[in-house]
Structures are given as structure tokens and as C-alpha cells.
Amino acid sequence: MRILFYCIRKVFDMGSKISSFGKTADGKEVSLITLVNKNGMGIEVTNYGATLVAVTVADRDGRIDDVVLGYDDVTDYTLHGGYLGATVGRNCNRIHGAKVAIDGKEYILDDNENGNNLHSGFQGYNSLLWDFEVIEEELAVKFTHHSADGEQGFPGNFDITVTYTLTEENEVKIHYCGTSDKDTIANLTNHSYFNLGGHGSGDILEHTMWIDSDAITVTDARSIPTGEIRDIKGSPMDFNTPKKIGKDISADYDQLIQGAGYDHNYVLKNQGCGLRKIAEAADEKSGRVMEVLTDSVGVQLYTGNFIDKDSRGKGGAVYQPRHGFCLETQYYPDANHHENFPSSILKAGERYDTTTVYKFRVK
């Protein structure tokens, strides 16, 4: 029966569709764009925050479930924190002291977390209404935003596109591309919380995780990098050999205690080698596997430690801390305060161009 349902969906839903996702508080119409590929896998994205709202993909028995946390309409996205599925920028993660010097000039940013800047402050890209265009023949949606000089406190007119493509290889490909007329910071990510058992299926502690990394950027009690790059081989942070997320999450280890679980930037191997596989998560129960590919230098493993307790998501699903995990590809947090970290400065006139792929299969 399930298989039959799946085949019917394949035939009828293939392609793209635009529907209403409600209105913002100031009355602006928001859209939800659905893309479905030939295999029956689907994604939903909205122009509010260029957000990934849903990823519907079959398990090993052909049962389709939605594997990202999210909300049913735009209102809920505006009322809740957590950046569910959002595009985060111009700079993701934290900047110490909410200020940064670029070419010798200091820029003041929003202090929206304990004296620091998190995810670019109060008006992040996650809360903007983006322009968009559906590219039907590529099963893609291209979001565009002109980020004016001074927006969020950053210098330079930054024109940015974020393109989501659903491929026939069951990949959600996210391509970020932009240029600025002044040197600026460019460091965008996607903040999806994945749960391969289905977004309403409980915690992710039984998921198996692999990350191609031997080191993390160590953080202090406020999640600000200290500058230390720590070798984690053999420690509870190590995912070089696949292990359950829950195995060591409560270990007596400074970084895990401070972060209330995993909330750390992993220093990726093979930097400068272009798009390569950097992580894989698997849910034994459903058989779903998600590979992550990127050309970035770092990835934040965040195990949803601060998801609002008892919050209500899509279809009334109840979300709790650790009901989803994020793999946020990025430059190392607070890169511009540490000379030993790769710089996240985009030079005027040069191109910011980075791709991350979340690829699904079953085993």
C-alpha cells in the first residue's frame, strides 16, 4: 500500500508548485515552493528567510516522511527562534564583542547574545523576505537579496543568491553566490535540523554520525572560540569512526558540558579540495542515510540542545531539545578575531561562491 502511494505521488507531484505560506505581520504575502523529483522525493522552501521547510523522502520500505523540523506557516517562523531551516547570514555563528575590524576600520554589530553577535543579529537573513525565481527545468529555486551597505552593521553592498536544487540523485543542493563593492564578511549557512526518523519522531540520539575531522575550534562558556584548535582523536568529540550521537553526548568533557551537548565547529579535512563528502548521518530504524558534501572549511555540529521545550512544529508535532541535529557548513566561528583561522573576508569585487549538498539514500 505504502509503495503504491509512493508511486502515485511520483506521477502526480513531479515538478514545481507555488502556494501561499501566509502573510507577514505587516501584510506581505509569503510563498511556499514545492519541488518533487522523479523518485518522489520532495522539498519545500519559502522566501521568508530562504528557508528549507520540508524534505520528504522515503525510508527503506517506501514510507515517505518529512525529515526536517519546521512550521506550518510564516507566522510560526516569525514567532519562534532557533533558525529552523533558515539561511543564516551575512555571517553565521558568533562574533566576539559584537564588533569586527575590516581593513583597519571597526564595525559595530548587534549584541543579541551576551555581549556577542549571533547569526548576524536581530535582522538576520533568516527573517527577510527574499525575491525568488523558480527554475522549473532544473527543479531549482533561486533566492536573491540586495544586502545594502551597513545592513546588520557590515560594510559593502552585498548582492547574494541562494539557490536550492533538488536533483534526481536525491540531493538538496544549496549554492550561495555573491559579490560586494567593499571588503566584507561573507559566511552563510543553512540551519536545518534533521531527524531522519521523521521530524516528529523524537530524539536523534540513536542516529549514527560520521564527520571527517580530527579537530575542533575550542569555545568558552559563551560558545566563543578561544583560538585553540584541539586535536579530538579518541575523545568524546571524535566522529571519525561512526558512532551514535548519544554515545558520548553526556561525557564528562569540558566542551560538551559547556555546550550542553555538541555545539561545535569541526575543522574539516581536505580543505581547498572543492566539494567533498564531509559527514554522514544514518538512522538504523528507518534506514535513511544523509551524506553532507561541501567545499567549506568547517561544519558546526549542533544537536539541538536549545530547541524550545514542548514547542509545536509542523502538523502539531511536539519538539524537544535534541529532536534534530544541524550540520552547518561555515568558516570557523569568529574567524576574524583569530589569525590562525581561515579568513571569512570577501574582497571587494571578488566572488563568494560556495556549495553544500545534503544527499539522501536508504540502506
How many other CB atoms sit within 10 Å of the CB of residue 125?
27
Task: Give the active site residue among 119, 191, 199, 338.
Answer: 191
132 binds ligand BGC (CB under 6 A): no
156 binds ligand BGC (CB under 6 A): no
Minimum gap (Å) between residue 302 Cβ and ligand BGC: 5
Minimum gap (Å) between residue 22 Cβ and ligand BGC: 23
How many other CB atoms sit within 10 Å of the CB of residue 32?
21
Residue 43: CA atoms inside 13 Å, Cβ hemisphere, count? 25
121 binds ligand BGC (CB under 6 A): no
- Residue closer to ligand BGC by CB (options 124, 156) is 124
- Say whether 199 is catalytic: no
Exposure letters 292-326 (e unless 16+ CB within 10 A, then b): bbbbbbbbbbbbbeebeeebebbeebebebbbbbb
Question: Which part of the chain contacts ligand BGC (CB under 6 A), choosing from 29-37, 129-137, 195-203, 298-306?
Answer: 298-306
**In the range 54-93, which residues lie near ligand BGC by CB under 6 A?**
82-83, 93
- Residue closer to ligand BGC by CB (options 91, 286) is 91
Contact 144, 160 (CB under 8 A): yes
How many other CB atoms sit within 10 Å of the CB of residue 357?
20
Residues 6+ apart with CB under 8 A from 250: 256
As to burial, measured by CB atoms within 10 angstroms (0-12 exposed, 13-18 middle, 19+ buried), residue 61 is exposed
| CA torsion through residues 270, 272, 276, 281, sign | positive
Minimum gap (Å) between residue 324 Cβ and ligand BGC: 11
Minimum gap (Å) between residue 310 Cβ and ligand BGC: 17
Of the candidate residues 71, 194, 302, 341, the single one contacting ligand BGC (CB under 6 A): 302
**In the range 278-297, which residues lie near ligand BGC by CB under 6 A?**
none
d(CA 63, CA 54): 15
Site string for ligand BGC, 312-331 (x = CB under 6 A): ----------------x---
Minimum gap (Å) between residue 263 Cβ and ligand BGC: 5
126 binds ligand BGC (CB under 6 A): no
Of the candidate residues 294, 300, 311, 329, the single one contacting ligand BGC (CB under 6 A): 300
Contact 120, 152 (CB under 8 A): yes
- Say whether 191 is catalytic: yes
Residues 6+ apart with CB under 8 A from 310: 318, 319, 320
User: Is the N-terminal amide bond of 90 cis, ω within 30° of 0?
Assistant: yes
Q: Which of 307, 215, 208 minimizes the C-alpha distance to 264?
A: 215
Q: Which of 225, 46, 241, 19 minimizes the C-alpha distance to 130?
A: 46
**In the range 204-223, which residues lie near ligand BGC by CB under 6 A?**
223
Question: Which part of the chain contacts ligand BGC (CB under 6 A), choosing from 39-47, 159-167, 268-276, 299-307?
Answer: 299-307
Q: How many chain residues touch ligand BGC (CB under 6 A)?
A: 9
Minimum gap (Å) between residue 223 Cβ and ligand BGC: 5
Residue 215: CA atoms inside 13 Å, Cβ hemisphere, count? 15
- Residue closer to ligand BGC by CB (options 93, 217) is 93
306 binds ligand BGC (CB under 6 A): yes
Enumerate the active-site residues.
191, 328
Residues near ligand BGC (CB under 6 A) are 82-83, 93, 223, 263, 300, 302, 306, 328
